[in-house]
Amino acid sequence: MAAKRTVAIIGSLNIDFVTRTKRLPEGGETLAAISFDTGFGGKGANQAVAAARLAGPDVTVQMVGNVGDDSFGRDYVEALAKEGIDTKGVRQLSDGKTGVTNIIVEEETGENRILFVANANFDAFEKQQSAAWDLLPAQCDVAVFQLEIPVDVVLHNLHQAQERGIHTILNPAPAELLPDFVYQDIDTLIMNETESSILSGHPKTLDQPDDDAIIIVARQFLHWGVKEAVIVTLGERGLIYATISGQQGHIPARKVTVVDTTAAGDTFAGAYAVERAKASAGEFDIEKALTFATLAASKAVGKAGAMTSIPRLEELQV
């Protein structure tokens, strides 16, 4: 029997406070919202749950991050364990507060606006490099990162992962300009259209929904050092991808009724990471992986909520 592959998701864990409203209030306006709910979220944890639900029997998922020792943190560790996620890498900070996220969802469009307070996601790390920065588990095949923990900590672990031969995936959200050297430590870069504009330093490049222009931007990141693939997700227009081997193309989005886009990108990233891990010992069919991840994301946007909207593998069977 082949050994199980392991995906490590290294990132944030937040408690979501979700308000659903018909429209956003104007400045100074008080508006009655439709509903309010709380749930588990954070890009890192969302991606871990997506990977765990979509992994099947061949892949193990680990979550690495920090929560407080408050009731939110304790409940969170228990919830992840129920998803079958290895939680040994989730630290509960003494006297710490778990991160929180405020999400406003517009009912008419399904679009969301998000504000987060990092709390334990940042408080666990000293400003100067220390042993606390070393987050990689002892064994993993694919390591997935976002930017909801300190950027320097992310860059440190990306480099460590490259040195150990671990396939690295970066989902640079929330987006910010990164130093040029970091791209040499990234195997796969997954970002949406806005994020690709910010990271490329050319925000006007993607004003027009032109496939050729987006491929040029994707290839710019390959030129900067990304080792395998750059993927730019485009919402209802699908995605554009380009690889270091010269493969490139467009994968269309599934036609679905959009309810809530909150966890769509995280579902995509988790699904892709699982497919990449399964292929780490052999040939990798990127179009097959992208089609799988696109299908998973389409299931997520059809449901309300973040983690609650992430599908399970059986929901993708056709």
141 marked among binding-site residues: no
Residue 137 CA to residue 32 CA, distance in Å, equals 46
Handedness of CA 144, 149, 154, 157 (dihedral sign): negative
The reported pLDDT for the residue numbered 209 is 58
Q: What letters, b where the CB count within 10 A reaches 16 and e where it falls short, cover 112-132? A: bebebebbbbeebbeeeeeee
The reported pLDDT for the residue numbered 96 is 94
312 marked among binding-site residues: no
Burial of 57: CB neighbours in 10 Å, binned 0-12, 13-18, 19+: exposed
SS3 63: strand
pLDDT mean for each 10 residues of the chain (318 residues): 85 92 91 92 95 94 97 96 97 95 84 87 92 94 97 97 97 94 98 93 60 91 98 93 96 86 91 93 88 94 82 83
Radius of gyration of the chain (CA): 19
282 marked among binding-site residues: no
Q: What letters, b where the CB count within 10 A reaches 16 and e where it falls short, cover 140-158? A: bbbbbbbbbbbeebbbbbb
68 marked among binding-site residues: no
The reported pLDDT for the residue numbered 203 is 63
Backbone angles phi, psi at 257, to 5 degrees: -85, 120
233 marked among binding-site residues: yes
Token output for 146: 């976002």
SS3 60: strand
Residue 248 pairs with which residues in a beta bridge? 242
Residue 218 CA to residue 198 CA, distance in Å, equals 13
The reported pLDDT for the residue numbered 2 is 59
Residue 16 CA to residue 23 CA, distance in Å, equals 19
Which residues, including other chains, have CB under 8 Å from residue 244's CB and lie 6 or more apart?
Answer: 222, 226, 227, 228, 229
The reported pLDDT for the residue numbered 281 is 61
266 marked among binding-site residues: yes
Q: What domains lie within the chain, and their CATH numbers?
A: 5-312 (3.40.1190.20)
What residues are labeled active site? 266
The reported pLDDT for the residue numbered 262 is 75
Residue 190 CA to residue 243 CA, distance in Å, equals 12
245 marked among binding-site residues: no
Which residues, including other chains, have CB under 8 Å from residue 10's CB and lie 6 or more apart?
Answer: 44, 64, 65, 89, 135, 136, 143, 144, 145, 149, 154, 157
96 marked among binding-site residues: no
How remote is the C-alpha of 222 from its chain's centroid?
20
Dihedral angle of Cα 259, 242, 172, 255, to the nearest 10 degrees? 0
Residue 222 CA to residue 244 CA, distance in Å, equals 6
Closest CA to 188 of 310, 7, 3: 7
Token output for 242: 């380009």
Handedness of CA 54, 55, 56, 61 (dihedral sign): negative
pTM here?
0.91
Closest CA to 102 of 150, 36, 49, 146: 36
Token output for 119: 């709390």
The reported pLDDT for the residue numbered 259 is 81
* C-beta of residue 156 within 8 angstroms of C-beta of residue 174: no
112 marked among binding-site residues: no
Which helix (H) or strand (E) element contains residue 299?
Answer: helix 286-301
Residue 148 CA to residue 10 CA, distance in Å, equals 10
The reported pLDDT for the residue numbered 77 is 97
14 marked among binding-site residues: yes
